[in-house]
């Protein structure tokens, strides 16, 4: 009854979907008695500024207020200016396509750049949706490993993975799940590799810089976007992280202004139809009107840092090894020696739920999401600090 495409998509997302709906976590999801450190969902009331902006912008000012909205000129112009300041690159309004979050931006990028059978390289551990989204796009996922113990980009491994069908390399910085922000020197090395490899295979390799955590950085860490280093770069961004409101879909796909004119223009020209063809991947009207207000808001990064420190201390006492994150709202933790499944269940027995590393193909690690409430953190500290 189902199409082969639907079956393939379901299979590709199986591990994530089973964790959400058919696991011990699935059984307890939403139960107020659990301390939930799994997904980047809010565990407290939303930012008041977000609520105020949505309320204000929901009131119609003309008959077209709720008409079809594509990438509207006002938010495009506003964002081109803001991005130019933030990243030091001269974005123009048509470089910025408004999307319903980073999910849609990534999907649009895949559709714009990848033909059936084209290969896309990304580094693991990775966000668990790149692979199934590539499979859904009829492309071929080509994961390479990040370099332990600090999970550095492995440019040699990327270069070795590049073949005649390679079309795209995905870089996620700040990185989910490790929290790493890649240094300019690493990105320069990668750019040189992509330049060399593009010449070798006779085909331009593009880079997708997935940056939804760009504003969530600890300890005054700086940030360099790959878009400033490698001209053939597209940026995917989402407000779902910085506002902790992933259900209010808003994001964008931005073309690096350093991209040569012909490719930049071709992408600008194709993006609108691609967004329509993929099922109207534009954000809704109210979120578009609210962009200037939302740009000023952020969740409390100091609070995330406090939770990071308290949880790191407890987990370390429990014998686990925590990688100190530069950004994002995650801790990436190596299980204390022993059976990681048994240990995950021991946490769950005490109502504490973390994301098992097998969702990111790394069984000996787990992810702790810092968006849990302070009250959840307090309850979980003795559990994380316990040995055995």
Ligand X SMILES: Cc1ncc(COP(=O)(O)O)c(C=O)c1O
With respect to ligand X, which residue has the nearer C-beta, 218 or 381? 218
With respect to ligand X, which residue has the nearer C-beta, 120 or 314? 120
Q: How far apart are CA 156 and CA 161, in angstroms?
A: 9
C-beta of residue 227 within 8 angstroms of C-beta of residue 87: yes
With respect to ligand X, which residue has the nearer C-beta, 172 or 233? 172
Instruction: List, in order, residues 6 or more apart from 89 with CB less than 8 Å away.
Output: 83, 225, 227, 228, 256, 257, 258
Name residues contacting ligand X, limited to 116-155 (CB under 6 A): 127
Q: How far is the CB of 265 from ligand X (least distance, A)?
A: 27
Helix, strand, coil % (nearest 5) of the chain? Answer: 45, 15, 40
Among 37, 103, 252, 282, binds ligand X (CB under 6 A): 103
Whole-number CA gyration radius for the chain: 21
Residue 283 touching ligand X (CB under 6 A):
no
Helices (H), the chain: 4-12, 14-21, 24-28, 48-58, 73-87, 101-113, 130-136, 155-161, 184-201, 239-242, 261-277, 285-289, 291-294, 301-317, 340-349, 374-385
Site stretch for ligand X (CB under 6 A), options 45-53, 101-109, 135-143, 361-369: 101-109
In total, the chain counts a number of residues equal to 388
Among 210, 214, 264, 348, binds ligand X (CB under 6 A): 210
With respect to ligand X, which residue has the nearer C-beta, 212 or 318? 212
Site stretch for ligand X (CB under 6 A), options 55-63, 76-84, 97-105, 286-294: 97-105
Per DSSP, what are the bridge partners of residue 253?
97, 236
With respect to ligand X, which residue has the nearer C-beta, 91 or 128? 128
With respect to ligand X, which residue has the nearer C-beta, 173 or 318? 173
Residue 172 touching ligand X (CB under 6 A):
yes
Q: How far is the CB of 192 from ligand X (least distance, A)?
A: 24
Q: How far is the CB of 249 from ligand X (least distance, A)?
A: 7
C-beta of residue 95 within 8 angstroms of C-beta of residue 268: yes
C-beta of residue 101 within 8 angstroms of C-beta of residue 249: yes
Ramachandran angles phi, psi of 204, nearest 5°: -75, 125
Q: Which two structure tokens, joined as six digits, stand for 18?
A: 């089973």
With respect to ligand X, which residue has the nearer C-beta, 172 or 312? 172
- Does the bond joining 182 to the residue before it have cis omega, within 30 degrees of 0? no
Q: How far is the CB of 133 from ligand X (least distance, A)?
A: 10
Q: How far is the CB of 177 from ligand X (least distance, A)?
A: 8
With respect to ligand X, which residue has the nearer C-beta, 180 or 343? 180
Supply the DSSP symbol for 386. Answer: -
Name residues contacting ligand X, limited to 224-263 (CB under 6 A): 238, 240, 246, 251
Among 143, 179, 212, 356, binds ligand X (CB under 6 A): 212
- Could you tell me which of 137, 302, 120 has the C-alpha nearest to residue 216? 302
Q: How far apart are CA 123 and CA 162, in angstroms?
A: 13
Q: How far is the CB of 16 from ligand X (least distance, A)?
A: 11
Residue 357 touching ligand X (CB under 6 A):
no
- In the three-class reduction of DSSP (H, G, I as helix; E, B as strand; rest coil), residue 99 is classed as strand
Q: How far is the CB of 143 from ligand X (least distance, A)?
A: 14
Q: How far is the CB of 383 from ligand X (least distance, A)?
A: 25
Residue 371 touching ligand X (CB under 6 A):
no
Count the site residues for ligand X by CB under 6 A: 13
Q: How far is the CB of 37 from ligand X (least distance, A)?
A: 14
In the block, tokens 């702790």 appear at: 368
- Residues of this chain that interact with ligand X (CB under 6 A) are 40, 101-103, 127, 172, 176, 210, 212, 238, 240, 246, 251
């Amino acid at each position: 009854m189902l199409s082969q495409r639907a079956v393939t998509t379901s299979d590709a997302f199986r591990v994530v979907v089973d964790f959400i709906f058919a696991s011990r976590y699935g059984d307890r999801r939403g139960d107020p008695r659990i301390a939930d450190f799994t997904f980047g969902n809010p565990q407290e009331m939303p930012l008041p500024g977000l609520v105020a902006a949505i309320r204000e912008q929901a009131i119609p000012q003309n008959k077209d207020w709720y008409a079809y909205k594509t990438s509207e000129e006002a938010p495009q112009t506003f964002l081109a200016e803001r991005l130019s300041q933030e990243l030091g690159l001269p974005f123009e309004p048509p470089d910025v396509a408004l999307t319903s979050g980073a999910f849609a931006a990534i999907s649009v990028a895949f559709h714009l750049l990848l033909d059936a059978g084209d290969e896309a390289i990304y580094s693991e551990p990775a966000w668990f949706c790149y692979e199934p989204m590539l499979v859904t796009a009829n492309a071929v996922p080509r994961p390479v490993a990040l370099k332990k113990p600090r999970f550095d980009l492995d440019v040699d491994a990327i270069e070795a993975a590049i073949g005649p069908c390679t079309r795209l390399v995905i870089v996620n910085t700040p990185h989910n799940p490790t929290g790493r922000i890649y240094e300019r020197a690493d990105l320069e090395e990668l750019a040189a590799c992509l330049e060399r490899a593009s010449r070798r295979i006779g085909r331009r390799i593009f880079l997708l810089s997935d940056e939804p955590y760009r504003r969530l950085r600890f300890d005054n860490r700086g940030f360099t976007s790959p878009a400033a280093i490698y001209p053939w770069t597209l940026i995917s961004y989402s407000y779902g992280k910085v506002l902790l409101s992933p259900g209010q879909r808003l994001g964008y796909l931005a073309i690096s202004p350093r991209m040569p004119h012909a490719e930049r223009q071709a992408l600008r020209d194709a993006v609108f139809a691609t967004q329509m063809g993929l099922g109207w991947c534009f954000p809704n009207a109210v979120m578009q009107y609210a962009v200037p207000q939302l740009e000023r808001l952020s969740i409390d990064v100091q609070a995330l840092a406090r939770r990071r420190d308290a949880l790191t201390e407890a987990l370390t006492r429990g014998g686990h090894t925590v990688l100190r994150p530069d950004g994002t709202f995650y801790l990436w933790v190596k299980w204390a020696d022993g059976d990681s499944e048994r240990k995950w269940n021991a946490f769950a027995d005490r109502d504490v739920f973390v994301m098992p590393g097998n969702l990111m193909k790394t069984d000996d690690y787990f992810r702790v999401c810092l968006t849990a409430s302070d009250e959840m953190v307090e309850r979980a500290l003795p559990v994380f600090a316990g040995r055995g």
